[in-house]
Amino acid sequence: MSQTDWTKSLDRRGLMRRSGLALAGLAFAPFAGCEARSTAIRRGDASTEPLAIPQLRMGQVEDGVRVFRLPISPGQKEFALGVSSPTIGIEAPYLGPTLEMRRGERVRFEVDNELAEGATVHWHGFELPATADGGPHQLIQPGERWSPSFEVRQRASLYWYHSHMHRRTGPQVYAGLAAAIYVRDDEEDRLGLPSDYGVDDIPLIVQDRVIDGSGRLIYPIGMHAQMMGVRGDEIFVNGTPNAVFEAKTGQLRLRILNGSNARFYSFSLEGGEPMQLIASDGGLLDRSHSVRSIALAPGERAQVIVDLSEGYPLRLIASSPDMGMMGRRSGGMMGGGMMARRNDQGESGQPFRVLDIRPSGSTRAQSLPSQLAALAPLDPSQAVRTRRFTLDMGMMGSGMSINAAAMDMDVINERIPVGQWEIWEIANASMMAHPFHIHNVQFRVIDRDGRPPPPLETGFKDTVIVNPREQVRLLLRFEEHTDPDWPYMYHCHILEHEDAGMMGQFVVVKG
Ligand code: C2O
Ligand code: CU
Ligand code: CU
């Protein structure tokens, strides 16, 4: 398809028209139609909400293909006792099931859009054909089904799926269109890590939400929130506020996903206990690292093992600096800088409570193997070219851009030859940190302003924090799936920045 055909095909499907309509409704509006399902969230005693564990779905194997049926539908959820708010969920009022699949197998999804608006579903972290990616070009109209299929090439890890609707990703993810994916493989199985889902292997989708005085979920988009991203001052884990998990084992594997629209967190245990960091976005690190805090920007994941063998309760907390000014230069926070000030959402400066963990059974912990995975040594000299990307926001967030251009559905920003190593230099010209995400690849971090990356960035990543005035160098290669017509995205994973245009498109072409 030529560029012109490509534009036409978009028009044919009415994408331009629909996204224009959707924009008019940017304020978080109730979702019309369809009968609503409801969950009751009990507030009250602030520490007694059992952590919701999303249903685990393994799909159904049909002719050797693992098939998942995913209805996306409007829901109702009580974020505060007795007050329902409209939501979006997948087989649930809010969020959706964890999908489990194995590396090497073929999967297919039957995604039914039962909403009154268009939606997309993107498989974050996966290498796949561009037409299966679920980005803004794979629009699913209301009442339509989308059935992408691909081979799971990814290493075992925690991935996720979420809306990538053009200019509506922020409100749709916020309303609940997101969930976890577990990829498993033989390499990881051999290590005998905790992997009993919901028992000693726990997904934690961490999201902040704004609940107004009447108890309703609101998406407070406005000039300020567009610049800062939408941030709430209440934390929900898998949709649960004040979550408590009763552990029955002597150690737990926590798979943490920062599923927030804009907020950065630094997670730690309240008593300063160490956690064993074992994996980043794209799977196991070469070895475990004993850490006391883990910084995650929106879109990033980490896996840790926490030890409960002493038999006393632990509390996972998260501090969240203003403006996303989170530094990894020294492994911790950066000072606020000139724009640092009190958060607009009324945050008190106290860390958020994320999860209380109560041991109630075995106090036996196994020791971790010293070597986790064999990662190829990082060799930037393999790269045949360097591409540079500069992230900027313009005055007061009025000019969200990458390389001075805002996202344009009709423009392919980069054409990338398949199979060649490249260095991507990501520079941040703005005053705020941005998590830079690239579709269809797991990359390695070479350095930050010339300095080696911290433990979480020693393995495979698909999203990386770029601090103000910093330059991060990535090493990557697109291994297959050429398609001159259908693009993948790279973008800031602060969803309001993405929606406002801090995104670009690339195609992978024959070399
Ligand atoms: Cu998690 Cu392009 O997105
Ligand atoms: Cu993605
Ligand atoms: Cu950003």
Q: Do 348 and 410 belong together in one domain?
A: no
Give the pLDDT of residue 47.
58
**Which ligand is closest in space to the CA of residue 282?**
2
20 and 147 share a domain? yes
Residue 218 domain flag: yes
What distance in angstroms lies between residue 160's CA and the mean position of ligand 1's atoms?
9
Q: C-alpha distances in angstroms, 269 versus 228, 239, 307, 309?
A: 27, 21, 11, 15
> Based on the domain organization, do 309 and 228 belong to the same domain?
yes
Ligand with an atom nearest the CA of residue 502: 3
370 lies in a domain? Answer: no
The pLDDT score that the predictor gives to residue 508 is 98
166 and 34, same structural domain?
Answer: yes
Q: Residue 367: inside a domain, yes or no?
A: no
Q: Decide if 174 is inside a domain.
A: yes
Consecutive sets of 10 residues in the chain, 511 residues long: mean pLDDT of each? 30 32 32 31 59 98 98 97 96 98 98 98 98 98 98 98 98 98 97 97 98 96 91 96 95 98 97 97 98 98 95 95 46 33 46 94 80 95 98 90 98 98 98 97 98 97 97 98 98 98 98 85
306 CB less than 6 Å from ligand 1?
no
- Specify the CATH number for the domain of residue 319: 2.60.40.420
Confidence (pLDDT) at 154: 97
Ligand 1 neighbour 164 (Cβ under 6 A):
yes
Q: Are residues 259 and 405 in the same domain?
A: no
Which phi and psi angles does 232 have, rounded to 5°?
-110, 170
Q: What residue owns the CA closest to ligand 1's atom 1? A: 124
Tell whether 159 and 17 lie within a shared domain.
yes
Domain count, the chain: 3
| Residues 29 and 137 both lie in one domain | yes
- For residues 338 and 487, state if they share a domain: no
Per-residue confidence (pLDDT) for residue 28, from 0 to 100: 36
Residue 348 pLDDT: 54
Q: At what angle do helices 3-12 and 15-24 cross, to 10 degrees?
A: 60
Q: Does residue 364 belong to any structural domain of this protein?
A: no
Same domain, 346 and 278: yes
Q: Are residues 262 and 347 in the same domain?
A: yes
**Ligand 1 nearest-atom number relative to CA 124:** 1
Q: Are residues 210 and 164 in the same domain?
A: no
Would the CB of 301 count as within 6 Å of ligand 1?
no
Q: What is the DSSP string of 214-271?
A: TS-EE---SHHHHHH----SEEEETTEESEEEEE-SSEEEEEEEE--SS--EEEEETT
Q: Is residue 375 part of a domain?
A: no
* Same domain? 166 vs 240: no
Any domain includes 24: yes
Q: Print the domain residue range for 13.
A: 3-187
